[in-house]
Amino acid sequence: MKIASIVAASLITLGFAAGASAADDIEQLSKIVRYGDLNLETTAGAKVLYARIRSAAGEVCAPFEGRELTRQVRWHSCYDHAVESAVAQVDKPSLTALHSDRNKASVKG
């Protein structure tokens, strides 16, 4: 199986994060997530990759963590964008479906 990797969160976070001011420096934050060991044709493989992507997004967006509302908004914006971008880059139906299902569940609950 060919070893594959993606940049789970290759994004300009401060450029799109809610509440970012013009004075903020733009930083590029990224994390490589490898998934060559997974079979993305199975639900189990997609779940493992999705967990890796979410973990990487949490690490990449860690600089925005905080108790203040503005920091929480930035963190959620960064995290959601990172996960969405990574799922789109992988472009596998099983992963896309899992992500879609998780988003529907979070909106309901």
To the question of pTM greater than 0.85 for the whole model, the response is no
| Pair 78, 44: CB distance under 8 Å | no
Mean of the per-residue pLDDT values of the chain: 77
Q: What is the CA radius of gyration of the chain?
A: 15
Which among 58, 8, 13 has a CA at the least distance from the CA of 35? Answer: 8
Name the token pair of 108.
């309901």
Among 12-26, 67-81, 82-96, the least confident range: 12-26
User: Phi and psi of 12, rounded to 5°?
Assistant: -100, 100
Tell me what pLDDT residue 38 has: 94
Domain definitions of the chain by residue range? 5-108
End-to-end CA distance of the chain: 38
Q: Kindly tell me if the per-residue pLDDT of 5 is higher than 70.
A: no
Placement of tokens 């896309």 in the chain:
96
**Dihedral sign for Cα atoms in the order 109, 79, 82, 86:** negative
